[in-house]
Structure 1
Amino acid sequence: MTGQQLKNSILQMAVQGKLVPQDPNDEPASVLLERIRAEKEQLIKEGKIKKEKNSSIIFRGADNLPYEKVGKNEPVCIADEVPFEIPESWEWARLGSLFLLQAGKNISASKISEVEFPDSYPCYGGNGIRGYVNVQNHNGDYPIIGRQGALCGNIKRATGKFYATEHAVCVSTFAHTDITWVCFFLTALNLNQYATATAQPGLAVANINRVLFPVPPIAEQERITTRLLKVLPMADAYGVKEKALQDYNKDFPVQLKKSILQEAVQGKLVPQNPSDEPASVLLERIRAEKQKLIAEGKIKKDKHESVIFRRDNSHYEKLDGIERCIDDEIPFDIPETWCFCRLGTILYKLTDGTHSRPKYVETGVPFISVKDISSGMLDFSNCKFITEIEHKELYKRCNPEYGDILLTKVGTTGIPIIVNITDEFSLFVSVALLKFDQKLMSNEYLVHLINSPLVQKQVEKNTRGVGNKNWVMRDISNTLIVVPPLKEQYRIVEKLKNIFNNCNNL
């Protein structure tokens, strides 16, 4: 149960006479209603309010059923209209016979200030205070019913001098009726249900006047008010805790996955096998393969090749022939068979899509941008298309193929996906392409690695700019990663697959 549902249940108990016990010594509500009618008649004689055209009186018949007499008409049984039973000392009444409902008057928006100013008055509209004006049309203590907009039927309370617009219905009470109790009961009635079903919902005063209202004795009104003032703040406090619990439960699987990924990239998810080829040898094989491809002219040489190694129980990086200690960059300890390196070290090619917007066509070759992969999947359902000729030209520089990794780098940055199709497509500048030897590195492990806190913290730190932020290629290449032995990569992937399947059921 949500906090709002709890409040609604408490208010429903209140309007049904189930929140506080009845006292047989209380003056019955029927006497209160007589005093209200007498007070209204006196005000009519004094010309202060207008006479109702068809006044309503609801009473219990000899058969203990509710009857209503409207104007000079004969009483009619309204048992089918009454929504629930009420205590013997209570009575039913129409809102219009119990109170006086009057909508305020229109005032030009240009005369309403957003901030208070000297000698200003609050201006109430369809959902509470709309601003401040230099005139007032009410002075007193009034429940206010919003009568226009999606929140019509909401209940506010205005005290002192204020201005009510035509979208605010002021409720005048009589015979010392408890104002706080009126606000609580009007809220419980959910007047929004009587709104017109239009683009701009509205409540007609005539329709509100016809709503049935349960009336307890004055003394019980005060007891109900006292109890509600005590328990509703508890319901609010419950609502805050319940909302926090909902948020926690919603976020828990996400945070759990992050924690599991962190364990995975620290070498704590699966046991190490001493017979595995160590990552240092694996990285040497990757460097050797890159050198071969460079010699064959198939890939370009790294301008700033990085080599990270251990010495004297510290981590060093050799870059441009210069060695430096990088212990301050190393976030945690890893197993002996693992290695730290830069992302660019394991890549044969790191590039992004075209920096020029192509000419789009109705049908052709898919043209993928960040919006088409930000869900974590390669989605062609809303992508643009370019001509085959333009695609072939773009594909010469940026050629995504099956098994490669795409990485968002503009706007929503740091989301990796594996290319899982063999059909060709082109990329926009907002997406980076990561190519590597899939026989030497597991693409599934790399995706998990990029999704881990280790890499995502670097993504957040290095994503720069205002508005459409950018994770530049240099920073992508310099991202610090961890490389386990290849066989352990596969074991990690399999373990994560099993764990995440269970996480999805949480």
Structure 2
Amino acid sequence: MLADKLRKSVLQSAIQGKLTEQLATDDKVEDLLQAIEEEKELLIKEKKIKKQKPLPEITEDEIPFAIPENWKWVRLGEIGIWEAGTTPSRSKSEYYINGKIPWVKTGDLTDSILKSVTENITQLALEETSLKIKPVGSVLIAMYGATIGKVSILGIEATTNQACCACVTYKNIYNKYIFYYLISQRDNLKKMGAGGAQPNISREKIIKTIMPLPPLAEQKRIVEKLDNVLANIDELKASEEKLSILQKNFPDKLKKSILQSAIQGKLTEQLATDDKVEDLLQAIKEEKERLIKEKKIKKQKPLPEITEEEIPFEIPKNWRWVRLGALSSVITDGTHKTPNYVNKGIPFISVQNISSGKYKDTKLKYITEDEHKKLICRCKPEKGDILFCRIGTLGHPYIVDLDFEFSIFVSLGLIKLINKDINVYLKAYMDSPSFEWQINKVKVGGGTHTFKLNLKDIVNFLIPLPPLAEQKRIVEKLDKLLADIEELKI
């Protein structure tokens, strides 16, 4: 995102002295460093800190860029006292139960002022371990794992775990300048910690890291400028994220809108030359009666009349509302018993194989031919039939286009249409918000139970049925429009 690139650029400009004006009235940075040395000697004398080993001299090869004349390169160990914490034994519950002392873990760090933590320890843990309370204003940095380089400034007194290093800065070092500098170096810090199963940057690596140090007044000007500029960049990032969500969701919303328009007859022209839809329905009725007479399908229970209250929207004059059961010879589902799977055999298809609207053999399972023969006595999917998800992700129709036999699990429903020429239009309807609305009215489950559709409800679903010629025009229009929408996806 542009905001992220801009943030990195602004932080880099700041630590190179390019974001603010250098003023001749600023104190010399050498005086600042001398004051630090004097403060350090006093703390050692008072036994508040131990004398440290001298840090290595900074070489020319280490310096990555030029800085203003009145700045100096220093190591982070020169500007503050860096200490990591520890994790009190988890086996001693008295270290944690009813604890009131904030204990910072790396997951608590948020690149901002830290005012709350997810866990506390007790006074006993503080007394019996090496933990120390860090004062408000301490700069924290994560040293281990995926959070390497995450930082915060303590807004409360707190202790830290061993993966979190805390810096108490010396006088004349502005903690927020260190905070911003560490953020600017996050990528470099991650590289320093790379290479292990559990990457870490260690306290030793941190204190040896070099930093460009301006005079205190310049540190404050840099921070003030960054506070202002980065706040604006945060607003830009929020806007970018909203735009990204809109761009991501727009194609799907547009697709649903177009599908809804299509099944309401608003996408194509109604032609007087089309056959009457009653003729299509009569032909379906006669074919169903023939199949019943020849005992190829069972006689169905009469479907309830469609009432005015059920009709969700108006349709063109030459369309009719019908129930799905009136268009189908069979609406059923797959086997309710989990079969014995084999390495090779007849494909056994479930939701994951067709939920995209196309067949995918991902994680495909197989059953024996003998078991398949038992299952097809009840449910035999064939080319042109419609499969749909009836457990879990509901709806998601797929028109069977496979040249091999297969069986299906109970998670899939099967619709065998009397006239298979209807199937492509019906699939488009089943993809529409109107069909989804009917699903949501009758689906059962929720909470800890998986949603499912009962077959008796699906039979009664309403379908807005146009003449066949109009169905073909709708499908042709949708094919073109939906292909264009796919190209919009990012």
Q: Same fold (TM over 0.5)?
A: yes
Shift of 1:112: 7.8
Q: Alpha-carbon deviation of 1:187?
A: 1.5
The yes-or-no answer on 1:375 pairing with 2:375 is no
Cα offset, 1:203, TM superposition: 2.0
Conserved? CA contact 2:97–2:122, under 8 Å: no
SS across alignment from 1:351: strand
Q: Distance in 2 between matches of 1:169 and 1:139?
A: 10
Q: Which string of whole-angstrom CA distances, capped at 9 and with x for unpartnered residues, describes residues 371-430 of structure 1?
A: 211222212231111110110111111111111110110011101001111210001111
Confirm or deny that 1:451 pairs with 2:425: no
Q: Give yes or no for the alignment of 1:355 onto 2:333.
A: no
Q: 2:143 touches 2:163 (CA, 8 Å); kept in 1?
A: yes
Find 2:173's aligned residue among 177, 187, 191.
Answer: 177
Q: What is the 5 A alignment of 1:317-332?
A: 317=306, 326-332=307-313
Q: Which amino acid aligns with 1:179?
A: N
Q: Distance in 2 between matches of 1:426 and 1:465?
A: 26
Distance in 1 (CA, whole Å) between partners of 2:386 and 2:467 is 20
2:242 to 231, 241, 244: 244
Q: CA deviation at 1:234?
A: 2.2
Gaps of 5+ in 1: 58-67, 69-76, 308-316, 318-325
1:268 pairs with 266, 269, 272, which one? 266
- The percentage of aligned residue pairs carrying the same residue is 39
Quick check: 1:10 aligned with 2:5? no
**Contact 1:112–1:131 (CA under 8 A) maintained in structure 2:** no
Matches of 2:95 and 2:289, distance apart in 1: 68
Aligned to 1:482: 464
Q: 1:164 aligns with which of 160, 167, 175?
A: 160
8 Å CA contact retained: 2:96, 2:121? no
Tell me the secondary structure at the aligned position of residue 505 of structure 1.
helix
Alignment-derived partner of residue 503 in structure 1: 485
Are 2:414 and 1:469 aligned? no
Give the C-alpha shift of residue 4 in structure 1: 3.5
Q: Judging changes above 3 Å, is the alpha-carbon distance between structure 1 residues 39 and 114 closer, same or farther for their aligned structure 2 residues?
A: closer
Distance 2:66 2:288 in 1: 84
My pick for the range that moved more, 150-159 or 1-10, is 1-10
- Which of residues 314, 330, 346 is equivalent to 1:333? 314
Aligned to 2:80: 99
Q: 163-172 vs 8-17, which deviates more? A: 8-17
> Partners of 2:94 and 2:154 in 1: how far apart?
18
- From 405, 410, 420, the equivalent of 1:424 is 405
Provide the residue aligned with 1:399 in structure 2: 380
8 Å CA contact 2:79, 2:173 repeated in 1 = no
**What aligned pairs does 1:23-422 form with structure 2 within 5 A after superposition?**
23-57=23-57, 68=58, 77-78=59-60, 80-109=61-90, 120-128=100-108, 129-135=117-123, 136=126, 137-140=132-135, 141-190=137-186, 191-307=189-305, 317=306, 326-422=307-403
Q: Name the amino acid aligned to 1:383.
A: L
Given residue 346 of structure 2, which amino acid in structure 1 is its aligned partner? V
Distance in 2, matches of 1:109 and 1:248, equals 46
1:200/1:27 Cα in 2 relative to 1: closer, same or farther (>3 Å)? Answer: same
Query: 1 or 2, which has the higher helix percentage?
Result: 2
Distance 2:95 2:411 in 1: 41
Aligned-pair distance for 1:113? Answer: 10
Shift of 1:258: 0.5
Q: Deviations over 1:459-505 (max 9, x none)?
A: 23322113322111111111111111101111111111111121122
The more displaced of 24-33 and 204-213 is 24-33
Given residue 283 of structure 1, which amino acid in structure 2 is its aligned partner?
A: L
AA aligned to 1:170 is A
Number of equivalenced pairs = 468
- Provide Cα deviations, 1:12-45, integer angstroms capped at 9, x if missing partner: 2221222222212111323222222232233223
* C-alpha distance in 2 between matches for 1:114 and 1:378: 56
Q: Secondary structure at the match of 2:418?
A: coil
Q: Greater RCO between the two (CA within 8 Å, min separation 6)?
A: 2
- Runs of at least 5 residues in structure 2 that lack an aligned partner in the other structure: 109-116, 127-131
SS at 2:450 equivalent: coil
The aligned residue for residue 129 of structure 2 is none
The answer for the alignment partner of 2:22 in structure 1 is 22
- Cα deviation 1:359-380 (Å, max 9, x = unaligned): 1111110011112112222122
Q: In the alignment, residue 246 of structure 1 is paired with which amino acid? A: S
Aligned partners of 1:286 and 1:346 also within 8 Å: yes
2:309 is paired with a residue whose SS is: coil
2:133 is matched by which residue type in structure 1? H
Q: Compared with structure 1, are the counterparts of its residues 453 and 446 closer, same or farther at alpha carbon in structure 2 (3 Å cutoff)?
A: same
CA RMSD, 1 decimal: 2.1
Query: SS of 2:119's equivalent?
Result: strand
Distance 2:286 2:216 in 1: 92
The answer (yes or no) to whether the contact 1:7–1:232 under 8 Å persists in 2 is: yes
The offset of 1:177, in angstroms, is 1.4
Normalising by the residue count of structure 1, what TM-score does the alignment of the two structures yield? 0.88
2: CA distance, partners of 1:110 / 1:438 = 70
Structure 2: distance between partners of 1:47 and 1:231: 42
Q: Secondary structure at the match of 1:348?
A: strand
Partner SS for 2:172: coil
Q: Cα–Cα, structure 1 residues 333 and 114, in superposed 2: closer, same or farther, change >3 Å?
A: farther
**How many Å separate the matches in 1 of 2:409 and 2:94?**
47
Paired amino acid for 2:100: S
Give the match's secondary structure for 2:464: strand
Deviation at 1:263, TM superposition (A): 0.7
Cα deviation 1:147-167 (Å, max 9, x = unaligned): 222102211222443222222
Q: Which residue of 2 aligns with 1:320?
A: none
Conserved 8 A contact 1:28-1:89:
yes
